Amino acid sequence: MKDLQRLVAKMKTQLVKGVEVHTGSGNVFADLGLADADKLKIKTGLVLEIRKAMRSLGMTQLEAAKRMGITQPKVSDMMRGDFSNLSERKLMDCLTRLGYDIDIKVRPARLRWGT
């Protein structure tokens, strides 16, 4: 609990209509103090794109599983937010197999390390 209080104390805070509002960093996993927060954010973004692709293609979990080269239970887990058993590389491969291209962009960080 103290770790969470320390994290909240670091966030920008403002008062809105009498309610204290804390502005996050843009990575909810980091804001919660989770290990591998950057990795979790990347994986979540990839899974969201997989969900959109499946919906756009009108695919069932079984159809998507066959096309992505994974089992239907793994697709089910993914749809429920449990993707700990899938690497970023595998998730990118799943998107590629669904007919999507992936672009990786590199740009200067908004915040400098060590400042």
Same domain, 53 and 84: yes
- The residue range of the domain holding 59 is 37-97
Identify the pLDDT of residue 113: 59
Identify the pLDDT of residue 8: 53
Q: Is residue 93 part of a domain?
A: yes
Report CA torsion sign: 80, 83, 88, 93: negative
Share of the chain above pLDDT 90, in %: 57
Same domain, 51 and 72: yes
- Whole-angstrom distance, CA of residue 21 vs CA of residue 17: 10
CB-count exposure of residue 94 (10 Å: 0-12, 13-18, 19+):
buried
pLDDT (tens digit per residue) in 8-53 = 556 677 777 888 887 788 888 888 888 899 999 999 999 999 999 9
pLDDT (tens digit per residue) in 53-62 = 999 999 999 9
Q: Is residue 104 part of a domain?
A: no
Please enumerate in sequence order all residues whose Cβ is within 8 A of that of 101, keeping only pairs 6 or more positions apart, or say none.
Answer: none
